[in-house]
Amino acid sequence: MEIELNTPLSEEEVGNLSAGDVVYLSGTIFTARDRAHSRILEKGAPYDLKGSVIFHAGPIIKMDDLSQKDNKNKSVDAKMIAVGPTTSTRMNPFQAQVIDKGVKAIIGKGGMDENTSKALIRNNAVYMAAVGGCAALYVNSIKNIKNVYWLDLGVPEAIWELEVEKFGPLVVAMDSKGANLYEDIRKKVSSSARGDIQNK
């Protein structure tokens, strides 16, 4: 099923999502990688996490004024050249605790660990898989860079606040009910491998 949603995401909207659904997002999303996640836990988020969407990404940004690394969290004159998903396992040490603070959806690639899965269930949140290698496609859905936070971490590690329209396709890979497409694939592969061994 293809579903279009607007951010911030509501409890009902997220609860209705199931593994395998294809989602397109409009509204605001935030990029964040491991250093930003770590700082969120240390200092608190620089924006309201309730109902928010975090995109595991380190975008390629063209900035006209790099002197704006003053960490005052002001909008910058910047253009996003490309943005693709970062491997989400990098965020495993932090993700569950960040989800507990109100995040409703994570976008990334490769899936996440059991702690994150449990956090998704207890917080009625989801993990959505973005397609690797589609950085140019995804950037076309970004209408505006609304703000940047913690630019002192560096351009890829800063939090970029993005206004998006029909951002996707995104596949719900881990839903709020415990379904996990990555685990399903692992079980099928393992079962197939056992069958091959037994048939030899």
What pLDDT shows up at residue 70?
Answer: 45
Task: Report the distance separating Cα 155 and Cα 157, nearest Å.
Answer: 6
Map residue 101 onto helix, strand or coil.
Answer: coil
Question: By C-alpha distance, which of 150, 118, 130, 154 is closest to 54?
Answer: 130
35 C-beta neighbours (distance < 10 Å), count:
17
pLDDT the model gives residue 67 = 47
pLDDT means per 10 residues in the chain (200 residues)? 95 97 98 98 98 96 62 65 93 98 97 97 98 79 95 96 96 97 82 56
Domain count, the chain: 1
| Residue labelled with tokens 């351009």 | 155
- Rounded to two decimals, what is the model's pTM? 0.88
Residue 71 has what pLDDT? Answer: 46
Domain with 36 in it: 2-199
What per-residue confidence (pLDDT) applies to 200? 57
Class of residue 17 by CB neighbours under 10 A (exposed 0-12, middle 13-18, buried 19+): buried
Give the CATH number, domain containing residue 69.
Answer: 3.20.130.10
Measure the CA–CA gap between 18 and 175, rounded to whole angstroms.
6
> Which active-site residues does the annotation give?
37
